[in-house]
Amino acid sequence: MSEKTCKDITLGAAARFLKRNDDYIILTHASPDGDTLGSAYALYYGLKEIGKSAEILCPDLIPAKYSYFAVKTDHIKSEKATVIAVDVADEKLLGALKDSFAGKVKLCIDHHISNTRYAEKLLLDSKASAACEIMYELLVKLKVNINDVTAKALYTGIATDTGCFKFSNVTAKTHLITAELFDYNIDAADINRLMFDTKSKKLLQLERMVLDTAEYHFDDKCILLTVTEEMQEKTGCSGPDLEGIAIISRSVEGVLAGVTIKQTGKEEFKISLRTFEPLDASEICRSLGGGGHKGAAGVTISGTLDMVKEKILSAVKTNMEKTNVWASADK
């Protein structure tokens, strides 16, 4: 589907579309998070309420922690399906499902301003903190009965995409919709504990080791944390466990660049960079062959740990000089 033929539609038009069609396949993005899953399941439950059949297809395994709303759905034959994508900004993000569904998405419901307009119809609200905000409004527009599980799915998406109402994407509307969701039995505190405050013993042990590696550079404006293969083996922490480590690096007072170096092979390291203005993580990582957003980006570099540290520190220094946060470049 080319950009030219993608049509922006309203909530009302989207509701009519859902009533008119049937046999939906709802696609989520790869590495599914609370918002893509929450909005997919809320839509699924809403469609069931109006007597439709629907199946949710996720390119990756759905993490067990979402099992309080993520149930088994219908099976829909893809030949006759009406395909919808939720919280998917780009067909590339369909991962393993891309080959089967590229060019076949009839309706995309999304909140990313970067949406590539790959669908036939697009319900986009880039001011929404989460796709689940839009999905709540769509269910209200459809006048379907929202049950407790649907409300939990919607709450999960909003809470996870806003860092539990912490980030700058939160608006008055975010809180108003959330207030409505509190009319149901959503056990919000339990959801929040599961999503935000549950660390395994082994992760706590890894965090202790990682804190031992803390190095400060450039008048303490940059912190560098290292996670070696040895630490991962010793604690038994792997891939998804490590997501939270980068958060530590962005939480130190006065730090503008938080670098987390994770060893992924004998001489291969994956760098997660978190920056605050005026620094630009995306620019720094791009200069080394990586990419990402302004505040969070990444890059994989080969070499010894010392070489990798030197490369990333040098790139951070260049950006600091360019943005005048650290004038004394000859330090």
* 157-180: b (≥16 Cβ within 10 Å) or e: bbbbbbebeeeebbeeebeebbee
Please choose, from the candidates 200, 195, 136, the residue with its C-alpha nearest in 3D space to the C-alpha of residue 164: 195
Pairing of strands 105-110, 121-124: parallel
Pairing of strands 82-86, 24-27: parallel
Is residue 183 at the binding interface for a copy of itself, with CB under 8 A as the rule? yes
* Residue range at the interface with a copy of itself (CB under 8 A); choices 42-50, 107-115, 178-186, 301-309: 178-186
Of 10, 60, 103, 167, which lies in the binding site for a copy of itself, with binding defined by CB under 8 A?
167
Please choose, from the candidates 248, 166, 140, the residue with its C-alpha nearest in 3D space to the C-alpha of residue 203: 248
| Token reading at 227 | 């996670």
Is residue 67 at the binding interface for a copy of itself, with CB under 8 A as the rule? no
Is residue 188 at the binding interface for a copy of itself, with CB under 8 A as the rule? yes
Is residue 10 at the binding interface for a copy of itself, with CB under 8 A as the rule? no
Is residue 111 at the binding interface for a copy of itself, with CB under 8 A as the rule? no
Is residue 182 at the binding interface for a copy of itself, with CB under 8 A as the rule? yes
Is residue 127 at the binding interface for a copy of itself, with CB under 8 A as the rule? no
Is residue 228 at the binding interface for a copy of itself, with CB under 8 A as the rule? no
Residue entry with tokens 């959503």? 186
Q: How far is the CB of 249 from a copy of itself (least distance, A)?
A: 10
Query: How are strands ordered across the β-sheet holding 268-275?
Result: 215-217, 222-227, 257-265, 268-275, 296-302, 291-292
Q: Assess contact for 288 and 281: CB atoms under 8 A.
A: no
Of 29, 104, 111, 250, which lies in the binding site for a copy of itself, with binding defined by CB under 8 A?
250
* Residue range at the interface with a copy of itself (CB under 8 A); choices 41-49, 187-195, 265-273, 303-311: 187-195
Of 30, 140, 252, 313, which lies in the binding site for a copy of itself, with binding defined by CB under 8 A?
252
Is residue 214 at the binding interface for a copy of itself, with CB under 8 A as the rule? yes
Q: Measured between alpha carbons, how far is 322 from 145 in angstroms, rounded to an integer? A: 55
Task: Report the amino acid identity of residue 203.
Answer: L
Is residue 234 at the binding interface for a copy of itself, with CB under 8 A as the rule? no
Kindly list the residues in this chain that would bind a copy of itself in the complex (CB under 8 A): 163-168, 170-176, 178-180, 182-183, 188-189, 192-193, 196-201, 204-205, 207-208, 211-212, 214, 216, 220, 248, 250-253, 276
